[in-house]
Chain A
Amino acid sequence: MAMKFEKVSEGKYQLDVQGYVCPHPQLYTKKALEKLQSGETLELLFDNPSSGESISAMCDSQGDDILEQAQDAGKTMRWTIRKH
């Protein structure tokens, strides 16, 4: 599955890095957040548990808000991050 980064609606973006392992998800997330303006949100889809720890710490360090963390039955994690 290829990586997807697209604009969903005004101020809302989606990054899909399912199937990727470390360090791809956290690096793509960092690059995607750099692209966003302050207050815009990123919906992040990934399925590599180890990346979650790093992404969470990265958001904490940068001051970005993780608004929602959900996991579906297929082990896909769906996080919503608001750019600081």
Chain B
Amino acid sequence: MTDGVVCTTEGVGAATSRANTWRASAVVGAFLLLSIWTYALDARYLYFSAYLWFGFIYGASLQYGRFCMASAIRDLFAVGVPRMAVGIMIAVVLFSLVSAAVTVAGKSTFHASPIGLYSVVGGAIFGFGMVFTGGCATGSLYKTGEGSVSALLVVISLSFAQALFVDVGGVLDALVPASWTASAAAKSMPAELTVTKGWYDQFLAGYIWDLKSVTAGDALGLASPAARAFIGNSLVNAILPAIVILAVIYVRWYRKGWLRKNKDAAPGMAREVAGWWSMVTASKRTAIAGLVLGVAAGLQMWVMQTLQQKFGISNAGELLTAMGNTQGLSLQETVFDPGYFYVTTQEAQGAAWVLAQLGMDLRDNIFFGMENGIPSPLANPVLWMSFSVIGGSMVMALLANEFKLKMPTREIAIWAIGGGILMGIGSRIGMGCNIGAFFATVTNGDPSGWLFALGMTAGGYGGVKFFNWWIERKMAKETPLGF
């Protein structure tokens, strides 16, 4: 219980606060300058700046609410704390409502993912890895903004793991089912992609592309666009599952403590609802962050679609071509451009670009060569969003006097790199991370996101069990008190 707690801040003078205010202003100024300078060069950079400023909002909100999906699962199983899982469900509800409105207005940029077991498998590997890293993919970005070098190691390792995983062949090719190889070979693909070589190419062309995708609104056969968006996609696919999940969390993890605190031995329905509401509002910072994230993520789709219409494009590759920058485009002259909040693919592109500078060409695969391209970081609008997630978080951390450059110990660095590699592999098998494969999907009526969440929860549970065992073993060895 925190009632009556004494809070003090020792030695943190006004000078420090002023210095941090200046530093925060410098970060905001740098982003503003980049937006203004690039707009002056070419008005089409507005498209890049839109990604950038939404990323900034995400980063600031994530840091303010300590909003991290890794902790949603991990803290629930490890220490019985539901605040983050609650915050995410709030964000899911709001994002789904704004998305429905955006969809009805014809401004949605969302495309449903195929439905298949791959989501569960990818989610499980991702969920297992993220327990060890201390943050999910977005969580690691915002913690990098707080000065955590271990979070930066997570971002780097998951980026390079993805870039290399989508191009790896050799031993992994032997694990590819013959049906995938045959299906991939039957598709008319450019010869330079060699789609029957490389595990990931055959996974995409021989398995993923053969799966069906559907939104809840379409599956229910609802007639009007508004009913499909608000009833099918939002209510059935997002809001009702979120309410059920919140009820399960309340009963399993919150109710007992709440009843004890309120000395309520035999509560009626009204008291139960009051307890449920108390759980939802327990962490105001998390709830506020969830609210801002949910609304901003929906609005981003509207803004990006509006800009696509303004510039007469459907993908940023067309914009880059018109701007005379064709380096790094895919064979289809496209680049990765989801038009909504997404993390991991752009980091993979960043890593692939670095590897390309070192002489490693990764364009002979579907992921980079045909779908996403390998643009330079300056010509990668979605990567601008990732950088500004770090920037937005840094500004909030500086203003809250929480920024601290923190070097990891060897132990933490090993956890960060190992977990980051698992997250990278999991996100490529699951076709995204907790944002792209869960948050952005379930809120747009795509049931595949719940499959990813199921895998992520199972993987997170396994990770917590392993981590508990590890910590108990370590404490028993290293402390005089033991455990």
Chain A residues packing against B (C-beta within 8 Å): 1-7, 13, 19-24, 26-31, 34-35, 47-50, 53-54, 56-75
Contact = CB atoms under 8 A, between A and B. Distances in A.
Q: Is the interface of A mostly helix, strand, loop or mixed?
A: mixed
Q: Which 6 A-B pairs have the closest CB atoms?
A: A73-B11, A22-B134, A21-B134, A61-B257, A57-B81, A50-B66
A75 B402 contact: yes
Contacts of A64: 1
A6 B406 contact: no
B175 interface: no
Interface in B99-135: 131, 134-135
Contacts of A62: 80, 257
Nearest to B148: A21
Given A47-B404, A71-B12, A21 B75 contact: no
Contacts of B2: 56, 59-60, 65-66
B10 interface: yes
B412 A54 contact: no
Given A31-B475, A72-B12, A22 B68 contact: yes
A71 to B, nearest CB: 5
Nearest to A15: B479
B406 A47 contact: yes
Interface in B250-269: 253-254, 257, 260-261
Interface string B45-60: 0000000000000000
A63 B1 contact: yes
A46 B98 CA distance: 39
Interface string B1-38: 11001111111110010000000000000000000000
Contacts of B150: 21
A27 B467 contact: yes
A35 B282 CA distance: 27
Given A49-B402, A53-B283, A60 B1 contact: yes
Given A28-B471, A69-B7, A23 B257 contact: no
B75 A68 contact: no
Contact of A58 (B16, B80, B479): B80
A35 B481 contact: yes
A23 B10 contact: no
B7 A7 contact: no
B148 to A, nearest CB: 6
B150 to A, nearest CB: 5
A16 B122 CA distance: 36
A72 B406 contact: no
18 contacts: A6-B479, A21-B143, A22-B134, A23-B75, A23-B134, A27-B79, A27-B467, A30-B79, A47-B406, A49-B397, A54-B83, A57-B283, A58-B75, A61-B253, A63-B1, A70-B9, A71-B9, A73-B13
Interface in B147-175: 148, 150-151
Contacts of A29: 79
B42 interface: no
A4 B479 contact: yes
Nearest to B7: A69
A3 B5 CA distance: 26
A63 B478 contact: no
Contact of B6 (A21, A30, A69): A69
B78 interface: yes
Given A22-B70, A35-B483, A61-B257, 19 more contacts: A1-B409, A3-B475, A21-B412, A22-B71, A24-B134, A27-B467, A28-B475, A49-B397, A54-B79, A54-B81, A56-B2, A61-B81, A61-B253, A66-B2, A70-B6, A71-B10, A72-B10, A73-B16, A75-B404
A67 B5 contact: yes
- Which of A47, A60, A72 has the largest count of B CB atoms less than 10 A from its CB? A60
Contacts of A4: 479
B71 A3 contact: no
B327 interface: no
Contacts of B406: 19, 21, 47
Contact of A73 (B12, B75, B409): B12
A23 B465 CA distance: 13
A19 B149 CA distance: 11
A6 B282 CA distance: 32
B197 interface: no
A70 B7 contact: yes
Given A1-B409, A4-B479, A50-B71, A63 B468 contact: no
B210 interface: no
- Which of B5, B8, B9, B260 has the largest count of A CB atoms less than 10 A from its CB? B5
Contacts of A31: 471-472, 475, 483
Given A22-B71, A31-B483, A63 B79 contact: no
B261 A53 contact: no
A49 B471 contact: no
Nearest to A18: B406
A71 B16 CA distance: 13
